[in-house]
Structure 1
């Protein structure tokens, strides 16, 4: 069984590898993200090789493309690895042709996970579709993980876990912001089958959802952003670890100590003022401080 932290022995994991998700700086092309992440001190990246809708502009990282070849070269030069590729959106008509490209690109990048979200109102059908994604991804050595999000059809850990359990090997992706906005608690996280856990994305935020308006300017790569404040916050206004009230240390303490951690924290104002390099470095320093912090905890066998 994976160890969990409870309340007596200090737990700190300063050497745990740390990644950064592409959404944090989606305006950087994949090769530039790899280089900038390496300069900032990250160990891995997540790369957005597909989009969840028809409006967002994809980075041209098709198999055999110059951009994919350059991305692979920079991964080799820097030693940065690829934690995950994204994003597959489960919809009523989703078919293998809709996600095969992500798997083909992912295996060339050495990705471990495939990020999946759900836009299908029929969760039974979504479960069947996800099981198909898992079966196909096994050929590529990639593990799909479904992510609960407050403004998507799968908006709870229990829904995500139910879909993952019905597949043969799929998992659940945790995101600190989405957990809070979905109304999940640490007890809900503790209750999740450890075998379903894949990795955790971290960012910080106020405890209560702030009032946020959709930005007047287009988002990077022309992402779709509605008027739902939870979506606006998720895409434009996340905070570095420690700058909010989400209890990130407590969250990490109830997760297996070897679970991969990745920063997913887009903030349009902050990246605009700091520039991508300083922005990623700030996130890296904040996340490393969090991993070094350690709070009292007792591990259960």
Structure 2
């Protein structure tokens, strides 16, 4: 049986342009990438690869050379007053790249309004063949796995899902045995890393760890096997391990080696590719 295909999130080497990231990801052994095409916060780094731009041409050429595909585009915080119409170019770009999902976070404290925003965005994304995945984070309004599932239930759209980042699951106090990883469950993607036992205190330290302090899978104490042993073949698995102390190419190689070694263990189901 072949190894499970593995993706990598752009935050792992965000300093690389999408084309450079695809090339480096391929060299490291990844088969898919997520791309930061919208800012996670106002003024934060992201890349313009809209069709007809030089960035789009370079990216699609790199994808053709390497066979690496784009799985998801990111990142859209669902805040009060968000202009959903302004996201149309992002959806168009995602579709042009063959992406399967758009990653969002829940940042509106009014539950009904947030659910309506997610529902309307999912309806916008549907014609482009895109799913909208909610990534929960301890410091955001949607801070836990249970919060994310409740939001999906309220939005009631069949092209939504949960992106389960294992660091956020642990740091939000989640139990690794709880998430529903079945084919009909809410989790459509799992993002791997590892972490030390001591949890950061406060939002600022938690954010710093998520963006700069992750460990490669197997180098910390997170009970990753409790998720990996229950993965469905169709569940997308990626790695997010930024590490500014190492060059991006080495960073990607180390992350791929660690994750692939863990995924290849006999108790982890793998699809045929």
Matched with 2:219 is 243
Q: Are 1:171 and 2:161 an aligned pair?
A: yes
Matched with 1:292 is 264
Q: Secondary structure at the match of 1:110?
A: coil
Residues 223-269 of structure 1 show CA distances to partners (whole Å, capped at 9, x for unaligned) of xxxx6111000000101110001111222113324311000111222
Ranges in structure 2 where 5+ consecutive residues have no aligned partner: none
Matched with 2:98 is 110
Give the 3 Å change call, closer, same or farther, for CA 192–73 of structure 1 in structure 2: same
Instruction: For residue 192 of structure 1, report the CA deviation from its aligned partner.
Output: 7.9
Q: Secondary structure at the match of 1:189?
A: coil
Aligned 8 A contact 1:161 1:192 in 2: no
Q: Select 1:185's aligned residue among 162, 175, 186.
A: 175
Q: Secondary structure at the match of 1:261?
A: strand
Q: How does 1:204-283 map to 2 (within 5 A)?
A: 204-210=194-200, 228-269=204-245, 271=246, 275-283=247-255
Residues 133-192 of structure 1 show CA distances to partners (whole Å, capped at 9, x for unaligned) of 110100100100101111111011121112112231111110010000111103321488
Q: Secondary structure at the match of 1:198?
A: strand
The 2-side partners of 1:268 and 1:131 are apart by 37
How many pairs are equivalent?
267
The 1-side partners of 2:2 and 2:257 are apart by 11
Q: Are 1:43 and 2:31 an aligned pair?
A: yes
Aligned 8 A contact 1:116 1:146 in 2: yes
Aligned 8 A contact 2:13 2:21 in 1: yes
TM-score using structure 2 length: 0.92
The 1-side partners of 2:268 and 2:167 are apart by 23
Aligned 8 A contact 2:149 2:186 in 1: yes
Instruction: For residue 294 of structure 1, report the CA deviation from its aligned partner.
Output: 3.5
Choose between structure 1 and 2 for higher RCO, CA contacts under 8 A separated by at least 6 residues: 1
Ranges in structure 1 where 5+ consecutive residues have no aligned partner: 1-12, 213-226
Q: Secondary structure at the match of 2:75?
A: strand
Instruction: For residue 288 of structure 1, report the CA deviation from its aligned partner.
Output: 0.6
Segments of 4+ in structure 1 off by > 4 A? none
The 2-side partners of 1:253 and 1:293 are apart by 9
Aligned 8 A contact 2:216 2:258 in 1: yes
Matched with 2:3 is 15
Residues 79-100 of structure 1 show CA distances to partners (whole Å, capped at 9, x for unaligned) of 0011110011101111322322
The 2-side partners of 1:241 and 1:24 are apart by 13
Q: Select 1:84's aligned residue among 56, 63, 72.
A: 72
